[in-house]
Amino acid sequence: MSTKVRATIEDLYALPDNAKAEIVDGEIVLMSPTGDMPGRAGGSIYVSLRQHQGKTPGRAYPDNVGFRVDLPNRQSFSPDVAWYIGPPTGMKFLEGAPIFSVEVRSDSDYGPLAEQLMAAKRMDYFAAGTQVVWDVDLLGPEIIKCYDANNPNTPRVFRRGDIADAEPAVPSWTMSVDELFS
């Protein structure tokens, strides 16, 4: 009988080239680099949030920042963009989930299995304390699905021409959906 060793946060710190990964179900799950459109969209969201800092409690974080959590099936998140209200941790992963997380879909984030995995990840975010999760789909008509922990199965939808928000997680912050395409 073999016993599988569960991955730890220290294992994430030791990944070569600071690879982007999360710990899910005790295993390190590597995350592929993204392409042009998703990278620019995530960057636009981060820049907008960064400009909002100081207007409400919290700090904006770009892609590849680790958030350490303690769920039965997950020990970390690495969202594409995040808003975090906890204390700074220096060079280590942030402790606890961000209050607002953004997941920008890449090529591999489509199809029935991808939908199941994304829904499960959203539930993990909410279980860890995240208030709002954006599912950003640059290829569909419903560009941003804004999921709220208080109503996790019925997202608010933002399309081209709309002004999106992340209430109540990031009070008074908004951005134009069209900025994701510029």
> How far apart are the C-alpha atoms of 171 and 55, rounded to whole Å?
9
Percentage of the residues of the chain whose pLDDT score is greater than 70? 98
For residue 24, being part of any structural domain is answered with no
Least confident of 7-16, 72-81, 95-104, 154-163: 7-16
Please give the model's pTM, rounded to 2 decimal places.
Answer: 0.93
Element of type H or E holding 24: strand 21-24
pLDDT in tens, 67-82: 999 999 999 999 999 9
Question: Residue 151: which domain range?
Answer: 34-64+79-181
CATH code assigned at 134: 3.90.1570.10
For residue 45, being part of any structural domain is answered with yes
Contacts of 7 (CB under 8 A, 6+ apart): 23, 26, 27, 28, 75
For residue 3, being part of any structural domain is answered with no
Is 60 within 8 Å of 50 (Cβ atoms)? yes
